[in-house]
Structure 1
Amino acid sequence: MIDLSSHDPASKTLRVREFYLGRQPILDRNQALFGYELLFRNAPVGPAIIETELSATAAVIAHASQLGMEKTIGDALGFVNVDGDAILSDIFGFLPREKVVLEVTASLKTTPALLARMQELAGHGFRFALDDVRGDASSLAELLPLAEYVKMSMRDASLDALLKLAPRFKQESKKLIAEKVENRDEFKTCLDLGFDYFQGYYFAKPVIMSGKKLSPSQLAVLELMTLVTSDADNAEIERAIKRDVSLALNLLRLVNTPAVGARQRIDSLSQAVTILGRRQLQRWLQIMLYAEPSKRGQNMSPLLMLATTRGRLLELLANKLRPSQRHVADTAFTVGIMSLMDTLFGIPMAEILAQIPVSDEVADALMYRGSFFGDLLKLAECIERIEDMDGYIIPTLRDLAVSTDELVELEMAAFEWSDNVVRYAI
């Protein structure tokens, strides 16, 4: 059993909850979302040691799971780092075995008890990934048979090691995950080597293409956004929606989802526009920019998931910090959504802002990460890159007067909202 009791229960609860959470997308060969690696970090606040027989890893996973692991990963797989203490604990009652892959490092010191426990967990349906595999496969003889996935880093493993080991692991029917893939060339190299999955933020970096034109669907959405923000009447907005069949169908699908809460089925565009209202209609259009027409209703792009999660997290943070100013939360959502439009369009952000009128504060946040909204955006970006930006999160939270516990709950709410939008409204 997991024992979170202590001589000072209040103090123990506080320390167990002092962590923050990041999730990093794992994509398949078609760059569709496959899973997330969940990264838990103990916040450097207060006593550094949790005085239980469990490791800090197990304690924070237990708490995050109680908050709702399903909210965090949606329909994707969740890859969770576990150490020897966590494996030997009873933490796994908290985890949905069909949705979770347990990651152990290749350097994990094995014992007969540990291997027996891993075999027992595998018998119960848990899967394992072997992480941080570098150049020497001979040391993996005990762990490799238990692993379904093998992860190799583009930063830590040499190209020679990748060339040598990838074919061997494929021969043994292991699924290969390339980590820390940070640009398109690295992605192509890993594709050529036969990797099955890819982890890193190469997909979120803008590839600027001179003379690139927006697709007809994107132009239709931007035209609609202009109508909505310029206070055009509903009839004109309705006529514009009807010119794009895909937009019309998706709008009707949206207003009939539980999130909108219509009391009866809505079958006309005029009703849909009226029920949604201008604020929600603008938000939906911002999201629709990221949904490729050919992929709507199928495997969504990770850029769509990242943009909607960013937008919602910034909105929730702004609402918490300035609760009496509704427009501030709406602006924060717009900053989050627009922050990836240079990647989406392959156009510099300055050119995008010349086409889409925004306030000076929004422009400052998007171009220079300035102002209140820029601070929120920087925090979201640090969380996404938690491995590299770990040291920036706590000072930023302190400046914003947000606790780590509040951050985790807001993150999970943003994850859940983004998953629901992509699943039901696009």
Structure 2
Amino acid sequence: MPSRRARRGSGRCGRGAVPSAAVGGPGRSTQVGKRDGQRGGLMEGSRTRRFVWALPALMIVAGAAVDLTTSPNFSAIPLFAAAPLIAAPFFSLASTVRTAGAAFLVVLAIRAAHGTLGHVVPLTELLTLVTVSALALVINSVVRHSNEQLASARVIAETAMRAVLPTPDDRIGGLMVAARYEAAQADEFVGGDLFAIVDTPHGVRLVVGDVRGKGLEAVGAVAVVIGAFREAAEQESSLEGVAQRLERALAREGVRRGGLDSVEGFVTAVLAEIPVGSDVLRIVNRGHPEPILLHGGGELQVLAPAVPALPIGMGLDVWPDRSDEWPMPAGATLLVYTDGLSEARNARGVFYDPAGRLRGRTFPGPEELLSALTDDVRLHTGGRTTDDMALLAVGRPDTGPQGPRRP
């Protein structure tokens, strides 16, 4: 689910965009492009809504014009019948009734003006219009009921995701933190991407992962992983121990659910640790996209593991977990993300390259980094993303002669 900062910084998923140079250009262009994209989307949606609202009336007006300007033997009843059918899925019940009534009264008035009201054909036309109007009211009732159920399901799903993925604080253990959850579709809230960050006696520890699958089952697996992580992060003395606790938690969940397929029940994850009073960054990568460490001056590192490892929960524990270490000096920012970012494609099928798009760029802090990144990936894909993405950025404040400042 989108975090508090996600809503403040970028609206909802599928919303504005920035020029392709925004990530590498001035920070202001990011916000300008984003506002332009949002304004364009709102104008497009406003025009569509106005057209839909006007269409039933246009059908009635067109039907009247045809009937009044052609021979009495010619009937425009299909246009009148279309008006309540068009209104049914979009209008309220009262508006649909008014549309049907207006169509009926116009047909009645035209037939009376032609002096054919008592003839068999006009009576059949009126009966047809009444039947179609009754069908439109049934359609309206079904659509409203379905919309109510869908709205209820969305509220439940969003509440579940809010409970499972609470928004982290802006500051944790002296580090600056920003997180985003960007849904692939604007109306979807349930997915398998996850993130969590905690301040422990061993330092700040975090996890970003991707549970295979979607829906409420994925939320259940996310809850298992995050719950196990929060407990293990406090208790385990090493990051490798945390990873093994997650492995055992998923194994227990598989037993509880009658067994999880090793192809369906795995989680790719990056676990990271920034010890207290140290500029060391430790990472255990279990089959997840490689994190990026951004330094001052636009330099960055792609943090590839020395020895690749399998995702958590595949049941193939063929080698022990090993953490890799990198220096994380003051002013550096760690970016961890799920494959919804790195596998986002444009219209030509080209994957988004986070490292290439961020190289040479500096940001005031983690929040600004994620804002620019989410805006840029929307531009790359044209707003047509096919997978959720979770983003977590952690920055170590820069320390200069005047004290700590944002990186």
Query: Normalised by the size of structure 2, how large is the TM-score?
Result: 0.26
Q: Which has the larger radius of gyration?
A: 2
Bigger helix share: 1
Q: Which has the higher contact order (CA 8 A, sep 6+)?
A: 2
